[in-house]
Amino acid sequence: MKIIKYLALMTILLSCSKEEEAENVEPVVVFVSMTPTTVSELVNEIVIQFDYSDGDGNLGENDAGVTNLFVTDSRNNVVNSFRVQQLAPDNATISIAGSLSITITPLVITDGSSSETGTFSIYMNDRAGNKSNVITTTEFTVNK
């Protein structure tokens, strides 16, 4: 009798963990790196690398007119948007994970000084409209 109760309890616990995994539909992003961290105004691009995961695989978009990756510059709160291509087939409900990198065009100093620092905040939306967590890069410096 104890064995039956134990097996029933284990079945319930295992089915709960599977339901929790299936509910993880929001994408997750993790900051990896940013290079370079010091740039000359209007000269150097910055490359930001981050990892992503999505429990239901609906991250990315094939429609070129849709943006789904957003980068905010802390110096002036300007948001730049990008499109990440669809990362899994339509109607697939598979867990996906990988790495992405984006290139930020050469920056300008926004406060009139000879040197300025800032960070970028990044998040993604999946095709269902679920928003990922927001990550913040390390600090960058723009010099004249």
- Region class of 142: left (phi > 0), else alpha (psi between -120 and 50), else beta: beta
Residue with token string 């004249």: 144
The tokens describing 44, both together, are 């150097």
Tell me if 40 is assigned to some domain.
Answer: yes
Could you tell me the CATH number of the domain that includes residue 50? Answer: 2.60.40.10
> Cα–Cα distance between 26 and 23 in angstroms, integer?
8
Tell me if 45 is assigned to some domain.
Answer: yes
> Cα–Cα distance between 64 and 86 in angstroms, integer?
10
Tell me if 1 is assigned to some domain.
Answer: no
- Give the DSSP letter string of 45-59: -EEEEEEEEETT---
Domain that holds residue 139: 24-143
CA gyration radius, the chain: 21
Per-residue confidence (pLDDT) for residue 12, from 0 to 100: 43
Per-residue confidence (pLDDT) for residue 68, from 0 to 100: 98
> Cα–Cα distance between 44 and 77 in angstroms, integer?
20
Quote the distance between the C-alpha of residue 36 and its chain's center: 20
pLDDT tens, position by position, 67-121: 999 999 999 999 999 999 999 988 888 999 999 999 999 999 999 999 999 999 9
Tell me if 13 is assigned to some domain.
Answer: no
User: Does the CA dihedral 119-125-130-132 come out positive or negative?
Assistant: negative
> Cα–Cα distance between 5 and 14 in angstroms, integer?
14
pTM assigned to the model: 0.82
The H or E element containing residue 94 is none
